[in-house]
């Protein structure tokens, strides 16, 4: 049975394992091993994840299939957003799903969870950055009504990569 739950500190290692695994599955083929290892060591350390989980303006959600964690979501508001945005914006920083669960609507469930958070906070838009070389994710967001509005640089180890910044305006009354 698939369910989504807000993550807590007792699930820090689950988030770490899930984060590393899904990131490796998604980006290994397109990056050097050195860049991947450096990125994983820094960005999925227990210390960094603990700080992120402590951030009052961020929330993590884990998708469970029974007792198995299969994907997760991280959203940010206010100063926790990775780019300066207005107060009416919510950032989807991460939606990652294990490859074995692609095509099973898990990503869509996480996306809908993000919309639910945005609606609950009265936000008028949702935005995110997606790597320009990730056509599957770009199509997913376009299908869900996101439109490109800018780009920014994402540092992957020593490699500077371009993310497409995409936004979806929400009907605050019905979001």
Q: Where are the alpha helices (DSSP H) in the chain?
A: 12-27, 33-43, 46-54, 106-120, 135-143
**Of 39, 72, 96, 141, which residue is the catalytic one?**
141
Q: How far apart are CA 169 and CA 62, in angstroms?
A: 25
Q: How far apart are CA 155 and CA 120, in angstroms?
A: 32
Q: How far apart are CA 168 and CA 145, in angstroms?
A: 6
Q: How far apart are CA 147 and CA 169, in angstroms?
A: 9
Q: CB–CB of 85/127 below 8 Å?
A: yes
Q: CB–CB of 40/32 below 8 Å?
A: no
Whole-Å CA distances, 145 to 74, 97, 162? 19, 20, 21
> Is 141 one of the annotated active-site residues of the chain?
yes
Q: Which residues are catalytic?
A: 141
């Amino acid at each position: 049975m698939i369910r989504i739950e807000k993550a807590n500190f007792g699930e820090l290692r689950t988030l770490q394992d899930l984060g590393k695994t899904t990131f490796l599955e998604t980006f290994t083929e397109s990056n050097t091993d050195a860049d991947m290892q450096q990125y994983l060591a820094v960005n999925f350390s227990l210390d960094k994840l603990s700080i992120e989980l402590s951030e009052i303006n961020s929330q993590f959600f884990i998708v469970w299939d029974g007792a198995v964690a299969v994907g997760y979501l991280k959203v940010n508001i206010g100063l926790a957003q990775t780019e300066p945005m207005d107060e009416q914006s919510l950032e989807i920083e991460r939606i990652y799903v294990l490859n074995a669960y692609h095509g099973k609507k898990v990503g869509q469930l996480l996306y809908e969870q993000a919309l639910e958070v945005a609606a609950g906070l009265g936000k008028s838009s949702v935005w995110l950055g997606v790597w320009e070389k990730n056509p599957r994710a770009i199509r997913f967001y376009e299908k869900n009504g996101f439109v490109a509005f800018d780009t920014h640089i994402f540092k992957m180890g020593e490699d500077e990569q371009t993310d497409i910044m995409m936004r979806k305006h929400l009907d605050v009354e019905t979001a």
